[in-house]
Structure 1
């Protein structure tokens, strides 16, 4: 089994430290993603492929974001409950690593998560036509 890992974006903060402390007893590895890594495919960040060496061009974002890799459903539940139990403020942008998003880079992931969040706020869907 692969080691569950949470990738932290823009969380070199006290909140990020809280998340790291929460993950330790859960045996979740924590890795901070640097802006210079934002153009790498998520598969490269997660160790599924070799890094490409692409450098992002003016594509830095400041939103806090989490990418959860190799999480089982029960670990995901425990992780989210840990936020409440430890009174950690929510991180609005969160994603699970999947085969669908493996080729995306961090910038694309953030854009998709922002679209989804905006669509949910409007009560619609991020992709495709709305169903009645």
Structure 2
């Protein structure tokens, strides 16, 4: 699995900072488009569909149609990074003073077969839960 960072960043300056950081660390990047919302995460990362954990709580993709006009929120998705590389990325990100991206995910056996829409919406729900203490 190749080290890959997928992103949707709304500010051009921040996007350049993130891309430059990835280059510095030898990480490949993929800029996400709103049209990627309906595509499976594993397809976008180049991993295709893989076997999922038997304990995985898969979202029902048949019922998760992407609404017309949907725009992916600002997010960053890490795929294939070892813990030390992820830690290095996050430390450098902070050190460089890049403004935060609230939605972050690591591709796992639990979410690799979700659509990007499902992943983004789950991240939004988790963020709201953390911010407001709701389940």
Match of 1:80 among 90, 105, 112: 90
Q: Is the 8 A contact 1:68 1:96 kept in 2?
A: yes
Q: Is 2:109 the partner of 1:99?
A: yes
Partner of 1:27: 26
- Gaps in structure 1 of 5+ consecutive residues: 126-132
- Gaps in structure 2 of 5+ consecutive residues: 50-64
Deviates more, 1:86-95 or 1:5-14: 5-14
What is the count of residue pairs matched by the alignment?
120
* RMSD between aligned residues: 1.9
Note closer, same or farther for the CA distance 1:12–1:31 as it changes in structure 2 (3 Å cut): farther
CA distance in 2, matches of 1:30, 1:36: 17
CA distance in 2, matches of 1:103, 1:3: 17
Partner of 2:123: 113
Higher relative contact order (CA 8 A, sep 6+): 2
- In the superposition, the TM-score normalised over structure 2's length comes to 0.80
Partner of 1:16: 15
**Shift of residue 59, structure 1, vs aligned partner:** 5.1
Note closer, same or farther for the CA distance 1:116–1:41 as it changes in structure 2 (3 Å cut): same
